[in-house]
Structure 1
Amino acid sequence: MRKIILASASPRRSELMKQAGLDFDVCVSTKEEKKGPWEPEEMVRRLSRQKAQDVAERYAEDCIIVGADTVVSCDQEILGKPANDQDAFRMLHMLQGRTHEVYTGVTVIEGSADVRKETVFAEKTEVTMYPMTDKMIWDYIRTGEPADKAGAYGIQGRAAVFIRSIHGDYNNVVGLPVAALWQYLNSGKEENDATL
């Protein structure tokens, strides 16, 4: 397989890529995210594409660039990373005792600077949380875990105790639908190998 470049600084995405057995390098996009008045699925598609395209401009050789972006959505509001502890409390108070959606957009750019193929897809996972008291929320915020997480929680961390149920890909909530990505990267591989 060609060299894979992950266009993300997220340690969680790197961990999921390693878990899938993918060999990759990390090159972080430095482009400022352009957010618009889009629906959550459209937003993560666009933001993942921005990241992947920014990194692709730095590579002339034949390689695979993977960009991703994750948001939480509740009551038509997109919840990204909290601005501060008060914002984290607002988000978690909104999510507790209810079902919300987590969207991750993935962009895969393949090829060299001369000819490139671009594929963009998104995954949605529904997450239902148990009710939480204000004290539970503040105790969780004080751990520092919500600070860099979309929706102000990390399902793979201490927030696991607040999750009642999940409908869809768990890893999508962590930050990357790695099974869908792996399936895409390996689709047709056996047929191609057979012709070599």
Structure 2
Amino acid sequence: MTETQEALLLASASPRRRQILTRLHLPFTVAVAPIDEDQVQQHYHGPAEGLAQWTAAHKALATSTLPEAENRIVVTADTTVLLDDEILGKPRDEEHARELLRSLRGRWHRVVTGVVVSRKISGELTLYGASRSTPVLMRSYTDEEIDAYIASGDPMDKAGAYGIQNPEFQPTERINGCYLNVVGLPLCTLAELLEKFGIHTTETICTDPAGVCCPWSEQCLK
């Protein structure tokens, strides 16, 4: 394994992204981007689908100031949930979580994750970014199921107030595309970006434009 391959830094507080990244079989360490996401996102005025990548880029800029980012390739990501092009953020409280889950019930929406890889080269920060969008259909869960899910605490740190991977709630009926994108880190997108810095993964990258043949997740094949 080369020195470059030993130099990944995942700047994320999300345990889900840490778990997903292990599937690439590339050594990495973890830090948290020193950024207030809510405050930063107040300055965004572009299209809704661009917010995730824009936020991931700001995370990369902030992380580049950390000592642990020195000589590292930094991976940052952000996920947004869009319902009728309206951004559904993380719930403010339990009542807001209930409102979000009811608004999504039985409906299609999109999950967009923006991914950025960056590194300082000769003192200059180089960034490469991309995003992936996955249509998701929620099942017609009941109000009682919503209440039980909220009581578990799981939805409170998630965009749209749900985690697709939750084994009890199982909120989705169908997805059209990348499952790992909905969880929060599309590995096909990340692998393509890492290639720009000479990082090669152990799996073949899927080039299917439909995005349904991810080599890292069987759920993407369903």
Report the Cα offset of residue 39 of structure 1.
2.4
Q: Which runs of 5+ in 1 are unaligned?
A: 191-196
| d(CA) in 2 for partners of 1:76, 1:159 | 28
Identical-pair percentage? 38
2:36 aligned counterpart, secondary structure: coil
For 1:136, the aligned partner's letter is E
1:101 aligned counterpart, secondary structure: strand
For 2:179, the aligned partner's letter is Y
Q: Which runs of 5+ in 2 are unaligned?
A: 201-222
CA deviations on 1:125-171 (whole Å, 9 max, x unpaired) are 11101112211211211111101111101111136633111111100
Report the Cα offset of residue 2 of structure 1.
4.9
Contact 1:63/1:112 (8 A) holds in 2: no
Q: How many residues align?
A: 190
The answer for the alignment partner of 2:55 in structure 1 is: 47
Report the Cα offset of residue 14 of structure 1.
0.5
- Does the alignment pair 1:5 with 2:9? yes
| d(CA) in 1 for partners of 2:8, 2:199 | 15
The answer for the alignment partner of 1:23 in structure 2 is: 27
| d(CA) in 1 for partners of 2:70, 2:149 | 45
- Does the alignment pair 1:173 with 2:172? no
Contact 2:117/2:193 (8 A) holds in 1: no
Contact 2:6/2:26 (8 A) holds in 1: no
1:78 aligned counterpart, secondary structure: strand
| d(CA) in 1 for partners of 2:169, 2:27 | 28
Report the TM-score, using the length of structure 2 for normalisation.
0.79
**Runs of 4+ that moved beyond 3 A:** 186-190
The answer for the alignment partner of 1:83 in structure 2 is: 92
- Does the alignment pair 1:152 with 2:140? no
Q: CA RMSD in A?
A: 1.9
| d(CA) in 1 for partners of 2:45, 2:124 | 32
